[in-house]
Amino acid sequence: MDNFVVITGCSGGGKSTLVGELQRRGYTIIEEPGRRIVAQQLSDGGKALPWIDLAAFAEEAIKLATEDRVLMAAGLNWVFFDRGLVDAASAYAVATGDEGPLDRLIKEQRYHPRVFALEPWPEIYVQDAERRHGIEQAMEEYDRLASLYPRLGYQWITVPKLPVEARVDFILRVLSNY
């Protein structure tokens, strides 16, 4: 859907902060599926966590990202996704070696053709209870997504390392020129 915009990139690169600023400005946002799953699994004592069972975690992320898209399908305004199906399917492919979900995404479940990426930013990277991996793993994920999105037909646009308000202005300016 052309009004579904993905914010992706390096874990810990400021995606959630950026999406929060978009929401503050009145845009509809969808929080990162992975963060929601981790919080729920930790609360319930579940095992679908990336550091325990990455495949189960990725399956849950695919399911949740699909549900998010269905819930937002009726809207006509911009909807900003803190990650999305491509990110979840990529994690699933890494965990299982099965690229079937990725192949389906080429034809189905499309997002806006421009994808906004936040690159690794070690100076702001922080581990926490829900982000237990280090910056090196986050950078590997970034590199994987940076090659995957263009392969799926998306334009990868790197968001400059600026204060959050300026980052949001950059994204909105790029979208207004589409």
DSSP assignment of the chain, as one string?
A: -TTEEEEEESTTSSHHHHHHHHHHTT-EEE--HHHHHHHHHHHHT-S--TTT-HHHHHHHHHHHHHHHHHHHTT--S-EEEES-HHHHHHHHHHHHS--HHHHHHHHSS---SEEEEEPP-TTT----SS--S-HHHHHHHHHHHHHHHHHTT-EEEEPPS--HHHHHHHHHHHHHT-
121: domain CATH number?
A: 3.40.50.300
pLDDT in tens, 69-94: 877 776 678 999 998 888 888 888 88
pLDDT in tens, 101-146: 777 766 677 889 999 999 876 665 555 656 555 667 777 888 889 9
pLDDT in tens, 136-172: 777 788 888 999 999 889 999 999 999 999 999 999 9
For the chain, how many structural domains are there in total?
A: 1
Q: What's the domain range around 19?
A: 4-176
